[in-house]
Chain A
Amino acid sequence: MPRHNTSLCKDCFTEFVHTQVRRAIKSHRMFAPDDRILVAVSGGKDSLTLWGILLKLGYRADALYVDLGIGDYSLRSKQKVQRFTDTVAAAYQSKLHVHTVEQEQGAGIRELATLVHRPTCSTCGTMKRYQFNRVAVEQDYDVMATGHNLDDEAARLLGNVLHWQTDYLDKQTPSLPASLGGFAKKVKPLYRLTEREIAAYAVIHHIDYIVEECPMAKGSKLLAYKHALNRLEADSPGTKHTFYLNFLDRQAKQQETAGNIAEQDRQRLHPCTTCGQPTSANVCSYCQMMAKAKAHV
């Protein structure tokens, strides 16, 4: 582990990972021991590892898988999630929810993207954010957790800084409050761990995840930022950690982020006239997207 200038055996490495997750949960007051957590799972290393760690640490964590209908890739990723549910989560009486886009929305994510003339990744993002929030709110979960890691957050920060998207910087925090009715609280308990550390944990603990990349992610800007940061990390270990964690420190010093975000949301957002989820427009982006798709069917 060059960024910590240390090498750990399997047991110590496992303890290191658990400590980083505990520290993230505590420092950002993500959830309490009795809270019900909904983990967004994709079949990948981050989300399955997160689900497994939360269960091991004694939290009440269920999961939601959104089946996007991306051919064989979705079939294989769903199999991985189902297998993890049966072999690991079931022992903790933990439950898996599945939302099948093709069945509920009438078409897979690629077809929907074509119908609404938007890139597939952007359509997918809108769909997943909406469905995860909807299930968390409807099923009375206290908080929704995603598997975003240090590389995801550092790459996103680099992208936002390169394009001076300062509005997005305010919301780039590992814990977003449930600022108003219809919004679930959202947290990222893996933000202190790199992708490599999470993948190593998954291999050591025999977590069977989907190794192949989503075929829709080819050419993604986020991947380019990750590769650039990894080249910097190779020359100067700790770069990603310093970049993102120092940003969080400065953000916390400048403002009491949670309070400000909640206050801004309450001023800016109101219920969507179609579905009731919070939005800054009359109709939320998900309902606009689905209306456009239906008009083209």
Chain B
Amino acid sequence: MIRPAMKIIVTNPRQELEIQGPTRVHQLLQQLDLTPEAYLVIRGDELVTEDTVLQDSDSIEIRSVISGG
């Protein structure tokens, strides 16, 4: 049986991913090779901190905060 996975949207450039939880925010960013300083992690409409544990049932947006100036 296939386990459900958390749904992740990464912005700029947009990517849709599914990753098995549970995992902490900083581990997720590390796994995706994303610099923590350049992204916010949002669960639903709530901003989550680096040590938050994300579950398979979560919908996550990893939002780039870098703009071209």
Contacts and interface: CB of A to CB of B under 8 A. Distances in A.
A152 B35 contact: no
Contact of B49 (A7, A220, A222, A234): A7
Interface of A: 7, 44-46, 121, 148, 151-152, 155-156, 194-196, 198-200, 203-204, 206, 211-214, 216-217, 220, 222-223, 226-227, 230-231, 233-234
A234 B67 contact: no
A37 to B, nearest CB: 21
Interface in B53-68: 63-68
B42 A195 contact: no
Interface residues of B, number: 19
> 5 closest Cβ contacts across the A-B interface?
A217-B68, A199-B65, A230-B37, A195-B65, A222-B69
A213 B35 contact: no
Nearest to B51: A7
B27 interface: no
- Secondary structure dominating the interface of A: helix
Contact of A222 (B35, B38, B42, B68): B68
A231 B42 CA distance: 22
B32 interface: no
A153 to B, nearest CB: 9
Given A44-B67, A45-B65, A203 B42 contact: yes
Interface of B: 11-12, 35-40, 42, 45, 47, 49, 63-69
Contacts of B47: 200, 203-204
Contact of A220 (B36, B63, B69): B69
Nearest to B40: A199
Contacts of A223: 66, 68-69
Contact of B66 (A121, A148, A226, A231): A226
Contacts of A44: 67
Contacts of B67: 44-46, 195, 213-214, 217
A234 B35 contact: yes
Contacts of A211: 11-12, 63-64
